[in-house]
Structure 1
Amino acid sequence: MTNATMAKKTTRKPNAAFMKPVTPDAALAPIVGSNPLPRTELTKKLWAYIKKHGLQDKKNKRNINADAALKVVFGGKAQVSMFDMTKLVSKHVK
């Protein structure tokens, strides 16, 4: 296989559903902003917020500890796993 064919196989087209802009609701807007943005950007901003505020659990990195703003998004839960987080955040976008 040549380098040209290898490069062609590894390039991926972004999923249209992930690129479609979503609008955060009032609970999520303080964390990621209120402007419509693709789900991929929303996830990046959410993780940037978590890392900036040191909310990733120190012992189990898969858990996210909620501050006051995230507690609203997480339905009042003090801690959620990163897998549950995506499900809970999706309830706050239109």
Structure 2
Amino acid sequence: MATAKKAAKKSSKKAAKKPAKKPAAKKSAKKAAPKKAAPKKAKKSGAKRKPNAAFMKAMTPSSTLASVVGSMPIPRTEVTKKIWDYIKKNKLQDSINKRLINADDKLRQVFGGKRQVSMFEMTKLVSNHLK
């Protein structure tokens, strides 16, 4: 029996000595993955985007603002456009910082007596003159 055990040990040693064969390394250029088309967005049901009713509502300008934009009731968006037309026509933008507006006599009344106002502050001050 002793010889049978030795034979079993020898066979296990032979199995341990042989390493498993590794596959040969492949040298291949990476192929660029094909670009997938962007998924289409689900269509919104129905019509186009509706304008904001609050901006489109005609508002009556005060008498001081009417001297610049006219006395007819017009929406806020049009008031802003007309004020900018007036500013550019009379060259009232600051030459260094175009965001600042140098008020003339008419605009100074609209801006509450301020000589210079930023374009963002202007819309706030003008909204006080709309009813």
- Whether these two folds match at TM > 0.5 is yes
Q: Secondary structure at the match of 1:21?
A: coil
Name 1:91's counterpart in structure 2: 128
CA distance in 2, matches of 1:35, 1:58: 32
Name which one, 1 or 2, has greater alpha-carbon Rg.
2
Aligned residues: 88
Flag the structure with higher strand content: 1
Name 1:56's counterpart in structure 2: 93
Given the two structures, how large is their TM-score scaled by the length of structure 1? 0.87
CA distance in 2, matches of 1:55, 1:91: 21
Q: Which has the higher contact order (CA 8 A, sep 6+)?
A: 1
Counterparts in 2 of 1:51 and 1:21: CA distance versus 1, 3 Å = same
Q: Does the alignment pair 1:75 with 2:112? A: yes
The aligned runs of 1:1-94 (5 Å cut-off) are: 12-94=49-131
Percent identity over the alignment?
67
Gapped runs of 5+ residues in structure 2? 1-39
RMSD, aligned α-carbons: 1.6
Match for 1:56: what amino acid?
Answer: Q
CA displacement 1:26-81 (0-9 Å, x = unmatched): 11001000010011111111100000000011100110000000000011000000
**How much does 1:12 deviate?**
3.9
Gapped runs of 5+ residues in structure 1? 6-10
Q: Secondary structure at the match of 1:76?
A: coil
